[in-house]
Amino acid sequence: MSVDTATVKRVAKLARIAIRDEEAERLAPELGNILGWIEQLGEVDTSSVQPMTAVIPNHLRLRDDVVTDGGIRAKVLANAPEGEHGFFTVPKVIE
């Protein structure tokens, strides 16, 4: 399995991780090696197998539809890198 640098850059863009050209060049063979190794899974016949969805049989619980939390704005914002007037702030997204 060979992965080219264009693929690395495309995947990095999807993952929202900035990478430099030399990093993409270093990562391409590394990822190619790992993906080549995991491709051996293709040889397992799984035509009659359902994919696992729960590792231990369990059921989804329902709870009463009531408010159980809230009123903790200061706590929610306490670790924000930047906040103003009780909001998270980010660079301008609308011109």
| Cα distances (angstroms) measured from residue 77 to each of 67, 74, 84, 87, 90 | 20, 5, 9, 7, 13
Residue with tokens 């399995």: 1
In the window 22-41, what residues touch other proteins (CB under 8 A)?
27, 30-31, 33-35, 37-41
Near other proteins by CB under 8 A: residue from 22, 81, 84, 86: 81
Q: Which stretches of the chain bind other proteins, using CB under 8 A?
A: 7-8, 11-19, 27, 30-31, 33-35, 37-42, 44, 46, 49-56, 58, 60-61, 63, 72, 75-76, 78-82, 88, 90-93
